[in-house]
Chains A and B, each alone.
Chain A
Amino acid sequence: MKSIANMNEAELSAYIQSHLKNAGIDVVLSGGSAVTIYSENKYVSKDLDLVNVYAANRKKIKTAMTKLGFQEEGRYFTHAKTKLFIEFPAGPLAIGEEPVKEIVEKEMPTGTLRIISPTDCVKDRLAAYYHWSDRQCLVQAQYVSQAQAVDLKEVRAWSEREGMLAKFEEIKKELK
């Protein structure tokens, strides 16, 4: 097994997820680190957002993370051997008002990575762009859609359901 010091985002995530799964805690990678993985490091995030899907008790998470050598620092967990911060945002796992239905599983040398799909990753970034006009998130959505197979028809339909069709039409060319 690789040392934590040598694990990249996907490997560390898979390592933690597999360990937590054994403790009965289901977490899915979302947020900026999903962008890092899908954009093949065009965007680099220093925190892993592992969404706490079924609202597992924080103490239970802390106990499991402590066994892996992580320390709780405010809302994050840190480890002496990695610069990555681990956060467990509260569930449910949703993109806008809709629950996430598809979880992508990838076998890594350190465990099983469970991550939102590239299409949901684009929606997740666009949600931030739609609500806060955050251009950085639009650029991240662009990185993912250029590097991965993204269902833009679904992104359009979702944008419409979120009441953001006009905004999608404005930026859709940037996603190709």
Chain B
Amino acid sequence: MLSTLFGSENNERVLIFILNRDEGYASEIAHFFDATLYAIQQQLDKLENGGVLVSKTVGRTRVYEYNPRYPFLTELKALLEKAYSFYPEDVRENLEMNRRRPRKKDKPL
């Protein structure tokens, strides 16, 4: 949708994913969009270096979120929200319907 502006489809994917989930890590984003891990990691690095995202380590995973101090954050999110409204319904549903509640360690399902 915005890849012409952002220069890459995976860049847009990363931004849209984190817009919806508030945070994300490379392998889950790559898995969700069926993209290569390397390509997603590259975009995460690029966005972090540009100050758009920030990251922290949770266990052994590097988790990314929007940088609340990015000066164009409000405007960027508004643009992404607009683009997202044009996304296919199944993609939107899958992005929005993910389990957030806790899951007990030994639970079979």
Chain A residues with a Cβ under 8 A of chain B: 75, 89-90, 92, 94, 96-99, 127-128, 131-132
20 A–B contact pairs at CB < 8 A?
A75-B49, A89-B51, A90-B49, A90-B50, A90-B51, A92-B71, A94-B69, A94-B71, A96-B69, A96-B71, A97-B71, A97-B74, A98-B71, A99-B71, A127-B68, A127-B69, A128-B69, A131-B68, A131-B69, A132-B68
Complex Cα gap A66–B61 (Å) = 34
* A-facing residues in B24-75 (Cβ within 8 Å): 49-51, 68-69, 71, 73-74
Quote the shortest CB–CB distance from A157 to chain B (angstroms): 18
Secondary structure of the A contact surface, majority rule: mixed
Quote the shortest CB–CB distance from A134 to chain B (angstroms): 12
Number of interface residues of B (CB under 8 A): 8
The interface residues of chain B lying within 8 Å CB-to-CB of A128 are 69
Complex Cα gap A100–B20 (Å) = 31
Quote the shortest CB–CB distance from B29 to chain A (angstroms): 21
The interface residues of chain A lying within 8 Å CB-to-CB of B49 are 75, 90
Quote the shortest CB–CB distance from A135 to chain B (angstroms): 16
Complex Cα gap A90–B49 (Å) = 7
Which of chain A's residues has its CB closest to B74's CB? A97
Which of chain A's residues has its CB closest to B69's CB? A127
Complex Cα gap A40–B71 (Å) = 29
Complex Cα gap A89–B71 (Å) = 13
Quote the shortest CB–CB distance from A54 to chain B (angstroms): 14
The interface residues of chain A lying within 8 Å CB-to-CB of B71 are 92, 94, 96-99
The interface residues of chain A lying within 8 Å CB-to-CB of B73 are 97
Complex Cα gap A98–B49 (Å) = 20
The interface residues of chain B lying within 8 Å CB-to-CB of A97 are 71, 73-74
Complex Cα gap A96–B51 (Å) = 12
